[in-house]
Amino acid sequence: MDNTLRAALDLLSDITPLKHDCGSLCDSACCRDEGELGSLVWLLPGEEDTHMPWADVVTTAMPVTQTQISAISCNSPCSRSDRPFCCRIFPLSPYYSEKRQEWDVRMDRRAAPICPLFHYGKAGLDPAFVEAARRAVRLLAGDPKWEQWLMRLQAEESAYRMEL
Ligand code: SF4
Ligand code: SF4
């Protein structure tokens, strides 16, 4: 796996949205094969090489950008040490602030129908988690190749916001 992606993943390896297991609030709603998020978790290039025995790896097209991307369909709970980037930062999502001219994170609008944390906003999350997610996003954004992927993720999330 690319060193930059590995470092970004590592920033989020030991930290979660709340100081306790938020999955206990919702029976791990974001891991269930239902709801607005759909059944697939997108993988950033290289993540498909991770050993993920709890999931099936497939290829799919992102709906807005039509980017071909690997994704997983999960059959059972996973190990945090191996889960993909998009799961590690959820319910946050990367976005580029035109006003501040920098990458940051915001609540992922796709979390609205399923995540009990959504309506509390970033202020309701562990500040250390928000900061770790922000650092991970900015680390990726420092590499043009990964910044392209962040832009694709933002395009998908922004389009969902338009449909709310
Ligand atoms: S849906 Fe939200 S509260 Fe539930 S496990 Fe996922 S991130 Fe945590
Ligand atoms: S990879 Fe893990 S955290 Fe992500 S949806 Fe699957 S089971 Fe849940």
Sketch the domain layout of the chain as residue ranges. 3-30+79-163
How far is ligand 1, taken at its centre, from the CA of residue 144, in Å? Answer: 30
Residue 154 above 90 pLDDT?
Answer: yes
**Does 41 sit in the ligand 1 pocket, CB within 6 Å?**
no
Ligand 2, atom nearest to 74 Cα: 6
pLDDT at 39: 77
**Residue-wise over 87-102: b if at least 16 C-beta within 10 A, else e?**
bbbbbbbbbbeeeeee
- H-assigned helices in the chain: 3-11, 23-26, 85-89, 127-141, 144-163
How far is ligand 1, taken at its centre, from the CA of residue 132, in Å? Answer: 17
Residue 88 above 70 pLDDT?
Answer: yes
HSE, side-chain direction, 13 A CA sphere, residue 114: 19
Instruction: Determine the Cα–Cα distance for residues 135 and 8; give it in Å rounded to an integer.
Output: 8
User: Beta-carbon neighbour count of residue 13 at 10 Å?
Assistant: 12
Query: What integer is the mean pLDDT of 97-103?
Result: 96
How far is ligand 2, taken at its centre, from the CA of residue 142, in Å? Answer: 26
**Does 22 sit in the ligand 1 pocket, CB within 6 Å?**
yes
Residue 37 above 80 pLDDT?
Answer: no
Query: What integer is the mean pLDDT of 155-161?
Result: 87
Q: Which two tokens stand for residue 139?
A: 């680390």
Residue 34 above 70 pLDDT?
Answer: no
Query: What integer is the mean pLDDT of 10-24?
Result: 95
How far is ligand 2, taken at its centre, from the CA of residue 132, in Å? Answer: 19
pLDDT at 8: 97
Residue 144 above 90 pLDDT?
Answer: yes
Residue nearest to atom 4 of ligand 2 (CA): 87
CB 39 within 8 A of CB 30: no
Instruction: Determine the Cα–Cα distance for residues 158 and 163; give it in Å rounded to an integer.
Output: 9
Q: Which two tokens stand for residue 43?
A: 């993988």
Instruction: Determine the Cα–Cα distance for residues 83 and 28; give it in Å rounded to an integer.
Output: 14
pLDDT at 164: 45
pTM of the model: 0.93
Residue 70 above 90 pLDDT?
Answer: yes
pLDDT at 32: 82
Instruction: Determine the Cα–Cα distance for residues 66 and 133; give it in Å rounded to an integer.
Output: 25
